[in-house]
Structure 1
Amino acid sequence: MRTFKQYFTAGILGAVLLAGCTKDFKKVNTNPNTLPETKPELLMESAIYAVRQANQSREHRLVHEMMQVHVTVNNSDEIHRYIIRPSESDFMWNNWYTQLTNFRDAYESAAKLSLLSSQAYNFSYMAMARIMEAWVASMITDTYGDVPFSEANRGRTDNIFMPKFDAQKSIYDSLFVRLEEANTLLALNNAIPTALMQRDPLFGGDIAKWRKFGNSLYLRLLLRTSDRQESGAVQKIKDMLQTTPTKYPIMTSVDESAVIRFTTVTPFVSSFNTWRDYDFNGENGYTEFFINTLNSWTDPRLAKWANTVSGGVYAGIPSGYTPGTQQERQSVYLAALKNEPLLGNMLNFAEVQFMLAEAALKGFITGNPKTYYENGVNAAITFWGLTVPAGHLAKPAVAWDDAATTAQKLEKIITQKYYTFFFTDFQSWFEYRRTGYPTLPMGPGVQNGGQMPSRLVYPVSVQSLNKTNYDAAVANMGGDNMQVKVWWDIN
């Protein structure tokens, strides 16, 4: 008698092969020992590094300046004034779509290889590829809005060189389907061969940790869409965390955080590995907001992130200053951060705890938001290998106040969460747009109507090479400028 697992395996493979392999069926199956596809573990390893390294460069250039982590002292660079040139859109668009292709190819390759009786572990690679596809695709749509997805990356296989732009809600629906699939595949618990574990830069082939990462990412994306009733996110959050939590395991410790721990050995290096110190911290300094908040918490992470200035104190400079007003740098990034392994963070346990705090605060789940909040505060510090100071949770600027309003409590959660996003792709910007927190001071030189950019404009090449579909997307979104909000952004 066939087991459920066998039926499930046959069903998944049937769907994959019918959908993607029909025209190449003969070629692929001529000799299964000499498949032309690149091995999924090789595609996954290189693509994960490529995305994380590319993200780092724009975390530094764009996100940290928009979100007042640092501010330039070069008057010609005006990102902190919300002046972002259209050319800034190209770099991440090109990188993300290139690696999206690689993750999709890894999925297809793993699906074909899993036909071999000795390679059932490729079901796990299929799941990993789905998780990484969802991670990358979510960053694309959260940055630009409606983007090519269902027809993206199909020029080679289907001669689709001008893909349609999918509505963001449709993209999110598809990402949820992919993360459900990943969770189901990883529940099969097909172990990665020991010889291949070193090819996994995230979890060393640990299937349980991959599953928790996938579901924690799922929770992040559900929470992002939770203000949209039509997303069904609130009910799904309740199902995952309260109704059937054993079906959807999430991160339960700092050790389960998703981090590419960069080394100093090429190619497993940080994007900043070859930067001069001056390129990293010579033309910028931490902002007053970033430093003053950490000072108010007497947060031990300051010693990991910043240098002291005259008098042995940590200090910042104002963001959004008036053009022509010369600023003198105060505290800056420590040069050691260029090769800091934790700058490979993608999603950590502290973020998960803050997500749970918000879900409990809003009544999506039962539980005490204070408990989750305090767990998150502690984990955000221990993640950096530091000890939580005695009495830290009782400090006035840190302490949870049960008598505060819901808005005040949410601001406290998101402000702490903001610091867990230190060098974590574009997440702090996405969350600010969703929640309006943390409350950032508005400098006198800020442009764009005093509004934080709600998205990046589409790359110029897309406007010219895919004009018909570009025009349709612009009409659907209501324009192509930085003030147009994406679907989930109703703040």
Structure 2
Amino acid sequence: MKNNFIYILILFAVLSGSCSKELDEVNINPNATENAQPDYLLTAAIKNTTDAYWGTTNNMNSSLLFAQHWAKIQYTEEDRFIYSNSSFTSLWSTLYSQSINGFNKIIEIGNSTSNSNYIGVALTLRSWSFLLLTDAYGDIPYTQAGKLNEFITPKYDKQRDVYFGLLDDLKAAKIALDPAGKSIAGDIIYNGNITRWKKFANALRLRIALRIADKEPAKAKQVLDEIKADGDAYFSDNTDIAQLIYQISPQQNPVSAQFDTRDDYRISKTIVDKLFTLNDPRLPIFASKTQTATPEEYVGVPNGLTNSEASNLGFAKTSKPGVYFLAPQSPAVIYSYAELLFNRAEAAARGLTTEDASLLYRQAITASLKQYGISDALVTNYLSQSAVQYDATNYKKSIGEQKWISLFGQGLEAWTEQRRLDYPKLTVSVNTVLNGQIPVRFIYPGTEQSLNAQSYRDAVASQGADLLTTKLWFDAF
């Protein structure tokens, strides 16, 4: 199954819904099957969604720069926040036209075949897709999205309502998932392990509970109380990580594919300096040594350089991301065990649960280090440092900084968490164009202004100007 990506993507394109009921009726391909296969659809939808999440436009060329995990060594306009209303089309178009439509079709098939596990998996992944969209853009089409026969110009739902709706969807997904039920195929994340899908659904509920915690703490606590009352499990170790392990070329990790043909990116000086300061054993994993020997061995590039400044630093004397991330079969992590533990630590620190925040924080750091094969001795040494100790008086700083490190490579998630927790404190170059600010949202695709104009105008009137600097509802501070 994993080696049939090309065929699957072609099939998925054939089976994707057209823009209207009329087109559905007249544009019938006599050579295509009328009965979509859920396994092929599931594989294709997972692959398309993960590529959009981990790929160039939404990760390398934007959110990884905003989070200061990566920096640009040439063509530095994006690192100076110079974007147009066509810059952020990829996440929107891929997730709406391919991911969400695909997951909706799988849900239909699950209902027609009485296979609740297809329903639960598709609901979980559809929720993740909507979560990526609302975290990036804010108000988005949700209740009317993907219903092409009913809504050609879907309305935008407020971000608060999207989060609340996703919590309901994930609760329904958890109920639908039955380890003793019918098997599924095409699952390239958990290979049909429904117990792990239930854990993933609950992990996403926890993630969203923290998204809303600054604005709706009572609702956040209710969600976590429900999970506890149901006796549901979260991830229990690193084997539960939700990730897509890529194949060799041409189905390799998008980062690997990018570096096969281009050389635009380096690891950011911000995170290199932090890892040096903490004597962090993840440094040689996150960064490659400079091609030309340097005293530091690992040299990060400051974010926001002009093209001439970046050129002066040189390609050979600055560090690419680590070989681990450049490998064709490097995994695209969707939700790690470390993140789950950091989220539980934060929930405890906020008083949303009665767990031990300090213990969970240490377990989260350990899980992140072990995720990359760090030895027990180095883990112990790292945790013993005063700079790593948990500070209960400023849990956002302790958790925010260590979580930011652990999310390396996951640009969209790292950027969202930095906006939400406001740690680490990041500074920007004088060469950037937003008056000292880092982008706090993606701007809507320009096509929305022409193809869904009234809904777009309503969203802007509700949320605020369609600018990179307009704060989203969840971003309270």
* Stretches of 4+ aligned residues off by more than 6 angstroms: none
Does structure 2 conserve the Cα–Cα contact (< 8 Å) formed by 1:260 and 1:341?
A: no
Corresponding residue number in structure 2 for 1:180: 171
Contact residue 203 and residue 210 of structure 1 kept, 8 A: yes
Alpha-carbon separation, structure 1, partners of 2:73 and 2:87: 19
What is aligned with 1:460? 446
In the TM superposition, residue 53 of structure 1 has moved relative to its aligned partner by 1.3
- CA drift of 1:341 comes to 4.0
The Cα shift of 1:446 comes to: 2.7
Out of 89-98 and 379-388, give the one that drifted further: 379-388
1:100-111 matched pairs, under 5 angstroms: 100-111=100-111
CA gap of 1:299–1:456, structure 2 versus 1, over 3 A, is same
* 2:436 corresponding residue in structure 1: 450
Give the letter aligned to residue 270 of structure 1.
N
Paired residues for 1:129-208 under 5 Å: 129-155=122-148, 157-158=149-150, 160-187=151-178, 189-192=180-183, 196=185, 199-208=186-195
Task: Tell me the distance in 2 between the aligned counterparts of 1:153 and 1:204.
Answer: 26
Q: CA offsets per residue over residues 389-414 of structure 1, 9 Å max, x none?
A: 04220023222345xx22xx321211
Match among 346, 354, 365 for residue 366 of structure 1 = 354
User: 2:283 pairs with 289, 302, 312, which one?
Assistant: 302
Amino acid paired to 2:265: N
**Which structure has the larger Rg?**
1
Say if 2:334 is the partner of 1:346: yes
What secondary structure does 2:71 align onto?
strand
Bigger shift: residues 457-466 or 304-313: 304-313
Map of 1:377 onto structure 2: 365
Identity %, equivalent residues: 26
Task: Using the TM superposition, give the Cα deviation of residue 188 of structure 1 relative to its aligned residue in structure 2, in angstroms.
Answer: 6.2
Q: Are residues 55 and 465 of structure 1, via their aligned partners in 2, closer, same or farther at CA, if it must alter by over 3 Å?
A: same
Deviation at 1:37, TM superposition (A): 3.6
Which sections of structure 1, spanning at least 5 residues, go unmatched? Answer: 1-22, 24-34, 115-121
Q: What secondary structure is seen at the aligned counterpart in 2 of 1:78?
A: helix
Aligned partners of 1:66 and 1:79 also within 8 Å? no
Contact 1:320 1:442 (8 Å CA) reproduced: yes
- Give the letter aligned to residue 163 of structure 1: P
Aligned to 1:286: 267
CA contact (8 A) 2:428 2:438 kept: no
Alpha-carbon separation, structure 1, partners of 2:254 and 2:79: 22
Q: 1:321-374, CA deviations, whole angstroms, 9 ceiling, x for partnerless residues?
A: 467534515222235523354431000100001001111111111122111011
Structure 1: which amino acid aligns with 2:313?
E
**1:166 shift after superposition:** 1.3
1:221 corresponds in structure 2 to 208
1:283 deviation in Å?
A: 2.5
- CA deviation after TM superposition for structure 1 residue 239, in Å: 3.6
CA distance in 2, matches of 1:285, 1:83: 19
Tell me how far apart the structure 1 counterparts of residues 404 and 328 of structure 2 sit (CA, whole Å).
19
Assess if the C-alpha contact under 8 Å between 1:37 and 1:109 holds in 2. Answer: no
Query: In the aligned structure 2, how far is the partner of 1:231 from the partner of 1:425?
Result: 29
Give, as a single letter, the amino acid of the residue that structure 2 aligns with 1:226: A
Matched, 1:429 2:427: no
Kindly state the Cα deviation for residue 273 of structure 1 after the two structures are TM-superposed: 4.3
Structure 2: which amino acid aligns with 1:474? Answer: V
Contact 2:282–2:372 (CA under 8 A) maintained in structure 1: yes
1:413 maps to a residue whose letter is I
* 1:416 counterpart = 2:402: yes
- CA separation in 2, counterparts of 1:152 and 1:245? 30
Contact 2:203 2:234 survives alignment (8 Å): yes
C-alpha offsets along residues 180-206 of structure 1, whole Å, 9 cap, x if unaligned?
10111124631416xx3xx21111111
Describe the shift of the 1:173–1:333 C-alpha distance in structure 2 as closer, same or farther (beyond 3 A): same
Q: Secondary structure at the match of 2:334?
A: strand
Structure 1 residues 307 and 339 mapped into 2: Cα distance closer, same or farther (>3 Å)? closer
Give how far 1:123 is off: 0.5
Q: Deviations over 1:264-294 (max 9, x none)?
A: 1654x32244434462xx2232222110111
Residue 49 of structure 2 is aligned with which of 40, 51, 57? 51
User: Within 5 Å, which residues of 2 pair with 1:88-107?
Assistant: 88-98=87-97, 99-107=99-107
Question: For residues 393 and 273 of structure 1, what CA distance do their matches in structure 2 show?
Answer: 32
Match of 2:382 in 1: 392
* Offset of residue 145 of structure 1: 1.2
Compute the displacement of 1:320 (Å): 2.6
- 1:179: how far off? 0.4
Q: Secondary structure at the match of 2:83?
A: coil
Structure 1 residue matching 2:177: 3-state secondary structure: helix
Partner of 1:117: none
* Conserved? CA contact 1:295–1:314, under 8 Å: no
- Does the 8 Å contact 2:199/2:235 carry over to 1? yes
1:270 aligns with 2:257: no
Query: In the alignment, is the contact (CA less than 8 A) between 2:214 and 2:474 conserved in 1?
Result: yes
Indicate the RMSD between aligned Cα atoms, in angstroms. 2.4
Matched residues in 2 for 1:480 and 1:112: separation? 41
**Any conservation in 1 of the 2:67–2:415 contact (CA below 8 Å)?**
yes
Distance 2:324 2:365 in 1: 24
Partner of 2:24: none
Task: Calculate the TM-score normalised by the size of structure 1.
Answer: 0.83
Letter in 2 for 1:264: I
Give, in whole Å, the separation in 2 of the partners of 1:210 and 1:454.
31
Distance 1:343 1:368 in 2: 31
- State the TM-score, normalizing by the size of structure 2: 0.86
Deviations 1:207-231 (A, max 9, x none): 1101001100110011111111277
